[in-house]
Amino acid sequence: MRQSHLFGRTLRDAPAEAQTPGHQLLLRAAVARPLASGLYTWLPLGFRVARKVEQIIREEEDRVGAQELRLPVITPAEYWKETGRWDALEPVTFRTRDHGGHEYMVAYTHEELVMHHARTEIQSYRQLPAVVYHFQEKGRDEARPRAGLLRVREFVMKDAYSIDKDMEGLERSYWLQYEAYARSFERMGLKAISVESDTGNMGGDVAHEFQVLTDVGEDRVVMCTACDHRANMEKARRRIDVAPAGAAAVPAPSEVPTPGIKTIPDLAAFLHAPAADLLKSLLFRLPSGERVLVLLPGDRDLGEPKLRKLLGVPNLAYAGDADFVALGAVAGSMGPVGLGSARVVVDASVEAGKPYVTGANKPDTHLRDVVLGRDYDGERADVHDVREGDVCPRCGGRLAIERGIEVGNIFKFGPYYADKMNATYLAEDGTRKPLMFGSYGIGIGRAVQTIIETNHDSRGIVWPMSVAPFEVHVVALPGKDAAVRGAAEAVVAEIEAAGVEVLYDDRDESAGVKFADADLLGIPFRVTVSTRGLKAGTIEVKARSRDDVENVPRAGAVARVVDLVTHERARYRLPAAPLGASTPIGTPA
> Pairing between strand 502-505 and 472-477?
parallel
Could you give the CA distance from residue 438 to residue 522 in angstroms, rounded to a whole number?
38
H-only helix segments in 382-426: 416-421
Please state the pTM of the whole predicted model: 0.88
Give the count of alpha carbons within 13 A of 491, CB side only. 37
Neighbours of 36 (CB within 10 A): 9
Backbone angles phi, psi at 294, to 5 degrees: -110, 130
Could you give the CA distance from residue 229 to residue 569 in angstroms, rounded to a whole number?
33
Tell me if 75 sits within 8 A of 139, measured CB to CB. Answer: no
Element of type H or E holding 296: strand 291-297
- How far, in whole angstroms, is CA 546 from its chain's centroid? 31
Could you give the CA distance from residue 217 to residue 211 in angstroms, rounded to a whole number?
9
Tell me if 359 sits within 8 A of 206, measured CB to CB. Answer: no
3-state secondary structure of 444: helix
Could you give the CA distance from residue 453 to residue 371 in angstroms, rounded to a whole number?
51
Vertex 561: Cα angle to 557 and 564 (nearest 5): 140
Residue 256 gets which letter from DSSP? E
DSSP letter for each residue of 101-112: --EEEE-S--HH
Residue 286 gets which letter from DSSP? -
Could you give the CA distance from residue 197 to residue 206 in angstroms, rounded to a whole number?
8
Vertex 132: Cα angle to 90 and 161 (nearest 5): 45
In three-state form (DSSP H/G/I as H, E/B as E, the rest C), the secondary structure along 166-231 is: CHHHHHHHHHHHHHHHHHHHHHHCCCEEEEECCCHHHCCCEEEEEEEECCCCCEEEEEECCCCCEE
Q: Which residues contact 378 (CB under 8 A, 6 or more apart)?
A: 293, 295, 336, 343, 344, 345, 346, 372
Return the amino acid letter for 17: E
Could you give the CA distance from residue 436 to residue 159 in angstroms, rounded to a whole number?
17
Q: What is the dihedral of CA 50, 53, 58, 59, to 10 degrees?
A: 140
Could you give the CA distance from residue 153 to residue 76 in angstroms, rounded to a whole number?
20
Could you give the CA distance from residue 56 to residue 179 in angstroms, rounded to a whole number?
13
Vertex 69: Cα angle to 63 and 75 (nearest 5): 140
Tell me if 470 sits within 8 A of 503, measured CB to CB. Answer: yes
Per DSSP, which regions of 70-191 are E strands? 74-76, 95-97, 103-106, 130-139, 154-164
Per residue in 352-400, pLDDT tens? 889 999 999 999 999 999 999 899 999 999 999 999 999 999 899 999 9
Q: Which residues contact 118 (CB under 8 A, 6 or more apart)?
A: 130, 161, 163, 423, 435, 437
Query: CA nearest 333: which of 263, 270, 389, 399?
Result: 263
Can you list the pairs that 307-311 forms with residues at least 24 positions away whose Cβ atoms lie under 8 Å? 307/345, 307/383, 309/198, 309/199, 310/345, 310/381, 310/383, 311/284, 311/286
3-state secondary structure of 147: coil
**Domains defined for the chain, CATH in brackets:** 17-222+402-453 (3.30.930.10), 254-381 (3.90.960.10), 465-570 (3.40.50.800)
Residues in the chain: 589
H-only helix segments in 1-43: 21-28
3-state secondary structure of 375: coil
- Provide the terminal-to-terminal Cα distance of the chain, rounded to the nearest Å: 52
> In the prediction, which pLDDT does 581 show?
45
> In the prediction, which pLDDT does 14 show?
87
Backbone angles phi, psi at 153, to 5 degrees: -105, -15
Per residue in 501-544, pLDDT tens? 999 999 999 999 999 999 999 999 999 999 999 999 999 999 99
Vertex 509: Cα angle to 507 and 515 (nearest 5): 95
Element of type H or E holding 403: strand 399-414
Tell me if 527 sits within 8 A of 475, measured CB to CB. Answer: yes
> In the prediction, which pLDDT does 489 show?
95
The residue ranges of the chain whose pLDDT is under 50 are 581-589
Q: Which residues contact 336 (CB under 8 A, 6 or more apart)?
A: 279, 281, 293, 295, 344, 358, 370, 375, 376, 378
Largest CA distance in the chain: 98
Backbone angles phi, psi at 393, to 5 degrees: -70, -15
Residue 318 gets which letter from DSSP? B
Q: Which residues contact 361 (CB under 8 A, 6 or more apart)?
A: 328, 329, 330, 333, 334, 335, 337, 338, 339
